[in-house]
Structure 1
């Protein structure tokens, strides 16, 4: 059973999100992202990596000087030089990342002794400059369990405010995530843990929920799941999974999600998939006849998410190969045009045929073209209004002419 403690989200779009290959945010874009995140109610940001150099430090300082209301941290390697660079930024705290898996330690020419030898001095140095210091266990999902437990206990003993457990290569599944955190919390029942999920297996959002089930309450996320390789857990997806899937209120203004998501996609030059959960263009769209017929009676019959709750408007139906007569009739009724059953069937048939031939949906303008062509072919149209087309039969036309 999930606890009722709401999850806490640490947004790392400006750090891990910008580490996605080819992504670069300028200062104006970073400011705008921060504005949207504050509007959403995000209370903590990992705001950058000072060790990248003077330009990054300058950007971080500018973001801090803007006076946003969230807590800020800078990401650091376990190096004194990184802590010194972070001191120039004015952030509330730092996050210091240590490699903890054998494969990562070996690739960096380090070992477990090096980790423990450096933790005391690095954490002590950080605590002299910052009141908030979090420690990262990088590649924790592949670390040797006893070493990971000792690492966590040591970091807490040295004064770390929180421990980040990172699934750095995204190898966890929901079952393994819950097992990992259950074992960690058995060894350190009161450890203040954070989970940093990656999406290499498409499991990041699900793994966040599994970690929460095991007792974790802090989660680092990015807008759109932007990040290395397949990215991170997506802020908007994780929040809506809690809100709608588990009925756990997160205290986040979800109406910000659509403009925030689309802005980040634009400035990151990472277009959203049309079917991306929550904010994809077609994620609340409907074409299939059985769906559209039910939705006309109750939108919730085939749609979980209320469009207004994520800052969107409900979409009109999509017309194509799978459309039904009810959606065609609904479309024309909104134009004050009543179709006979036979005429509706003719329009639907041509919509299906054209969609199949062109392998795409049919636009509303194309539907009107189909409608007008059918009227012309049957000599059954009269235009009484430049906006609204009214259909009548040849007999009615003749009758009107005779009586005029």
Structure 2
């Protein structure tokens, strides 16, 4: 049986996440996000790019002085000026990014020779200011594999704390990602590898999990997958995928995921889709009558994750077009109302009719309104008795 190292999460919500178009975090918002990430057990945060300006560098420094338990990292281009700014910002370490694909090198008017020379020079310079220096292979997924391995080999020789393999444009799929990481891991066994996946084709979470299984124990993520274009691998999705699909304990406090996800959604002005995996508002909801009948006996029948693991209460069943008698009985029993089979049948029909007309679900209040209308017509209660019962719940 393959033994995996414990996943090591590097959250880059404050750096790559904030690079999402139109997203700006205030210092107070950054500190609160850091506090939640710290409480959740994230061991390392990439908290910004000092070269962005004095204000950014000052805020990075303030965050570093808050006393959080996580390790802090500053993102830098491959030049000495960026490294000096990072050193002044007070982070524990520095990440140096290099263009390793020809398309990026040509656009930046660089070449492979420049990359290798600059790697040696800037690493030596960074090491004189930081004990913790990580190296980034930007656009590694489109680089020539032999050059990429040469680049990774030099980073290891110089003493890099780890090497980031970045799928900068999100071109990898789980199979190609697994093969790439496996090949590099086999060549440079013992060198910590990090996967930094983008979600352009909707595979960032899957690619991150695949990379971990191939040997990259360091996982670069953002809350909600926030990031440039289609975003990055989502922290909450990667962690729960490893825990639920591979039974790998990530050592994180998953009960904070809902609060963390909602907070980052709020401060980024990015509304969470209702069906967003793990933390969407409806992902633990159920409407289908076939499902709810089984769910009332055992939630595990049609629900993988217990709501409590995400810091949520279990949700009531959705009342709508696909509801069956089991849902009707559930709500009648919830209100301590008599469960009459004829009424259940009529309610089920009426619910479907209203849901079709609304093109949506029926609220609990609407459910009870329909119920009392049926009972009134059925003359099961007199006018006086009917009026005295709370049917507006």
Give the TM-score normalised by the residue count of structure 2: 0.97
After the TM superposition, which residues 74-85 of structure 1 pair with which residues of structure 2 at under 5 Å, given as runs?
74-85=74-85
SS of the residue corresponding to residue 86 of structure 1 reads helix
Distance 1:377 1:387, change over 3 A: closer
Matched pairs, number: 389
Task: Give the aligned partner of residue 112 of structure 2.
Answer: 112
SS of the residue corresponding to residue 270 of structure 2 reads coil
After the TM superposition, which residues 5-404 of structure 1 pair with which residues of structure 2 at under 5 Å, given as runs?
5-382=5-382, 383=385, 388=390
Partners of 1:350 and 1:370 within 8 A in 2: yes
Distance 1:343 1:13, change over 3 A: same
1:11 and 1:165 map into 2 onto residues whose CA distance is 15
Tell me the alpha carbon deviations over residues 197-228 of structure 1, each in whole angstroms, 9 at most, x when there is no partner: 11111111111121122111111000001111
Partners of 1:43 and 1:69 within 8 A in 2: yes
Partners of 2:376 and 2:386 within 8 A in 1: no
Distance 1:333 1:385, change over 3 A: farther
What residue ranges of structure 1 are gaps of 5+ in the alignment? 390-404
Task: Give the aligned partner of residue 392 of structure 1.
Answer: none
What residue ranges of structure 2 are gaps of 5+ in the alignment? none
Task: Give the aligned partner of residue 393 of structure 1.
Answer: none
Partners of 1:335 and 1:388 within 8 A in 2: no
1:116 and 1:377 map into 2 onto residues whose CA distance is 83
CA apart distance, 1:82: 0.8
Q: CA RMSD in A?
A: 1.3
Q: Structure 1 runs of 4+ off > 2 angstroms?
A: 1-4, 375-389
2:91 and 2:99 map into 1 onto residues whose CA distance is 23
1:41 and 1:190 map into 2 onto residues whose CA distance is 24
Give the stretch that moved more between structures: 378-387 or 205-214: 378-387
2:388 and 2:196 map into 1 onto residues whose CA distance is 58
Partners of 1:329 and 1:338 within 8 A in 2: no
1:61 and 1:173 map into 2 onto residues whose CA distance is 37
CA apart distance, 1:57: 0.7
CA apart distance, 1:6: 1.3
Tell me the alpha carbon deviations over residues 98-129 of structure 1, each in whole angstroms, 9 at most, x when there is no partner: 00001111111111111012112211111111
CA apart distance, 1:386: 5.5
Give the stretch that moved more between structures: 1-10 or 223-232: 1-10
1:369 and 1:99 map into 2 onto residues whose CA distance is 63
Tell me the alpha carbon deviations over residues 132-156 of structure 1, each in whole angstroms, 9 at most, x when there is no partner: 0000000000000110011011112
1:2 and 1:354 map into 2 onto residues whose CA distance is 54
Partners of 1:284 and 1:314 within 8 A in 2: yes
1:308 and 1:21 map into 2 onto residues whose CA distance is 33
2:280 and 2:325 map into 1 onto residues whose CA distance is 27
CA apart distance, 1:5: 1.8
CA apart distance, 1:2: 4.4
1:386 and 1:236 map into 2 onto residues whose CA distance is 48
2:381 and 2:170 map into 1 onto residues whose CA distance is 61
Partners of 1:2 and 1:213 within 8 A in 2: no
Partners of 1:2 and 1:212 within 8 A in 2: no
2:381 and 2:370 map into 1 onto residues whose CA distance is 13
Partners of 1:336 and 1:388 within 8 A in 2: no
CA apart distance, 1:378: 2.8
CA apart distance, 1:247: 0.4
Distance 1:342 1:110, change over 3 A: same
Larger Rg: 1
CA apart distance, 1:387: 5.9
